Amino acid sequence: MMHFEIMLIASMVAIACAIPGTFLVLKKWSLLSDAIAHSILLGIVLAFWVTNQIQSPLSMLFAVAIGMATVWGSESLVRSKLIKEDAAIGLIFPVFFSLAVILVFWIGKNTHLDQDAVLLGELALAPLRRLEWAGIDWGPVSGWYVGLVMMGSIMMTIRFFRPLSVTLFDPLLSKAVGLSPGLGMMGLMIMVSLTTVVSYDAVGSILVVCLMVTPACIALLVTRELKRVLVMACVVGVVAAVLGYWVAVWLDATIAGSIAGTLGVLFLLTFIFSPLQGVWSHRVLMQQEKIEFACKILVVHLYSHAGTVIENQENTIEHMGRHMNWDMGYSNQVIQFGLARGYFEWLGDHLNLTSLGREWAKSAFSLT
């Protein structure tokens, strides 16, 4: 039951993060998630000061306010044209975070709010705080918070998919249809702040960043259409959450860190082997195209000499080495490729084009 609850919470966090994360990555605002994840600590600490609870409706309110303040602060620094965007993001959040750490230090001396717990999170402790109502155990508190925010983001994204993508990715069109371009950004930032604050207790700030950025990157390497990327990112997040949990059990280490590590490994595999974009697949494709081109040259060569007197000398494998500057191995490779495709066949010791090969050679000249 404990295993199941932890995996469920982790999976819900993964989904709740993947949705806004995809938009952030596409808008090149990935590091805003890092900034918000850190500065939101101030909101949590302030709310903790008032209510003595890490998770409460008030902490959500404060967190959204601080998240918006972070975005607004860096935006207005950029607008003043004194500071570039990257520097502005990197300036604002350390200030909020520092204030939060100092506040934690002052008020947290005899409470259970300590800085590394908030920063790093401990998923293993999440099922311990339970929601009891009318004498019945309703499951872990943080599970409910995370679940609500997850459902909220899913529903909002589906309901407002069009306006959200238009305001985010096409400001001119959104102005033309009467939607303020800032609207999508505001909604997105609220989503990011809420997700971060409910995920904090369970997984800590760094994993929030990881769960927002990495699944979206993996999905983008595999598919290009926005809806598919969103679904794919959610699936990847859930897979990583479950796998990462078992890695953590196996290593007896932090669950949040293991999920991050698992996501890293998944990303590396996708980066290398993805059929669409992977480095390895790209290489294989390049080699294939190279050999296909070589084969085309060979077919054209055969075509131009077909039926002439010197055909027997021109169309042998030895001649290819001299004519095309290919070595024996490469000539063999190209010939094997062409034979497999059925462009030509051996006739004694020289090559003879098939009708398919003749058509291909003609199409190379565009003589169809």
Partner 1 sequence: MISIYYSLALALMAAALVGLLSGTLGCFAVLRRQSLLGDAVAHAALPGICLAFWMTHSKESWVLLLGAIVAGWAGTLLVGAISRHSIIKEDAALGLILSVFFGIGLVILTALQSTNQTGQAGLMTWLFGSMAGVSIQEIMIMAIVTSMALCGVMIGWHPLVVCTFDRFYAHTLGINTRRMEWMITFLLVVAIAIGLQLVGVVLMSSLMIAPAVSARQWVNRLGPMVMIAGAIGMMATMMGVMISSLMRIPTGPTIVLCVSVFVMVSILVAPHRGIVWRLGRRRVVLSEP
DSSP label at residue 316: B
23 is a contact residue toward partner 1 (CB under 8 A): no
Asked if 79 and 20 touch (Cβ cutoff 8 Å), the reply is no
Considering only the stretches 67-75, 114-122, 164-172, 191-199, report the one whose residues sit in contact with partner 1 under the rule CB under 8 A: 114-122
Q: Is position 260 an interface residue for partner 1 (rule: CB under 8 A)?
A: yes
> Which DSSP string do the residues of 125-141 spell out, in sequence order?
GGGGSEEEETTEEEEEH
Helix (H) / strand (E) element for 254: namely none
Compute, in degrees rounded to 10, the torsion defined by CA atoms 271, 273, 279, 282. Answer: -140
Instruction: Give how many residues touch partner 1 by CB under 8 A.
Output: 60
**Smallest distance from partner 1 to CB 308, Å:** 47
Q: How far apart are the first and last CA of the chain?
A: 69
Q: Is 321 helix (H, G, I), strand (E, B) or coil?
A: helix
Residue 256 Cβ vs partner 1, minimum distance, rounded to whole Å? 7
State in angstroms the smallest separation of the CB of 152 from partner 1. 23
**22 neighbors 232 (Cβ within 8 angstroms):** no
The alpha-helical segments, DSSP class H, found in the chain are 2-26, 30-51, 57-79, 85-107, 115-120, 141-159, 161-169, 171-176, 181-222, 226-251, 255-273, 279-305, 311-314, 317-324, 328-341, 355-365
Of the candidate residues 23, 62, 97, 343, the single one contacting partner 1 (CB under 8 A)? 97
Q: Are 6 and 236 in contact (CB under 8 A)?
A: no
Contact status: 242 vs partner 1 (CB under 8 A)? no
Query: Residue 14: which of 123, 165, 119 has the closest Cα?
Result: 123
Rounded CA gap, 322 and 8, in Å? 66
Q: Please give the single-letter amino acid code of residue 225.
A: E
Q: In angstroms, what is the minimal distance from the CB of 68 to partner 1?
A: 19
Four-CA torsion 218, 224, 230, 233, nearest 10 degrees: -10
Q: Is 114 helix (H, G, I), strand (E, B) or coil?
A: coil
223 binding partner 1? (CB under 8 A): no
Q: Which of 3, 52, 57, 105 binds partner 1 (CB under 8 A)?
A: 105
* One residue of 2, 4, 116, 225 binding partner 1 per CB under 8 A: 116
Q: How far is the CB of 3 from partner 1 (least distance, A)?
A: 18
Does 171 bind partner 1 (CB under 8 A)? Our answer is no
Residue with tokens 């994360």: 21
117: left (phi over 0), alpha (psi -120 to 50) or beta: alpha
- 269 near partner 1 (CB under 8 A): no
Binding residue (CB under 8 A) for partner 1 from 31, 61, 131, 291: 31
Nearer CB in complex with partner 1: 28/112: 28
Q: Which is nearer to partner 1, 109 or 322 (CB)?
A: 109
Binding of partner 1 by 147 (CB under 8 A) = no
Interaction residues for partner 1, span 60-89 (CB under 8 A): 77, 80, 82-84, 86-87, 89
**Least Å from the CB of residue 146 to partner 1:** 19
CB of 292 to partner 1, least distance (A): 23
Among 51, 56, 98, 316, binds partner 1 (CB under 8 A): 98
264 is a site residue for partner 1 (CB under 8 A): yes
Which residue number, 137 or 252, has a Cβ lying nearer to partner 1? 252
- C-alpha distances out from residue 211 to 45, 119, 170, 194, 259, Å: 23, 15, 26, 14, 9
Tokens, residue 324: 């095309």
- Nearer to partner 1 by C-beta: 258 or 315? 258
For partner 1, the binding residues (CB under 8 A) are: 25, 28-31, 33-34, 38, 77, 80, 82-84, 86-87, 89-91, 94-95, 97-99, 101-102, 105-106, 115-116, 119-120, 206-207, 209-210, 212-214, 216-217, 220-221, 248, 251-254, 256-261, 263-264, 267, 271, 277, 279, 282
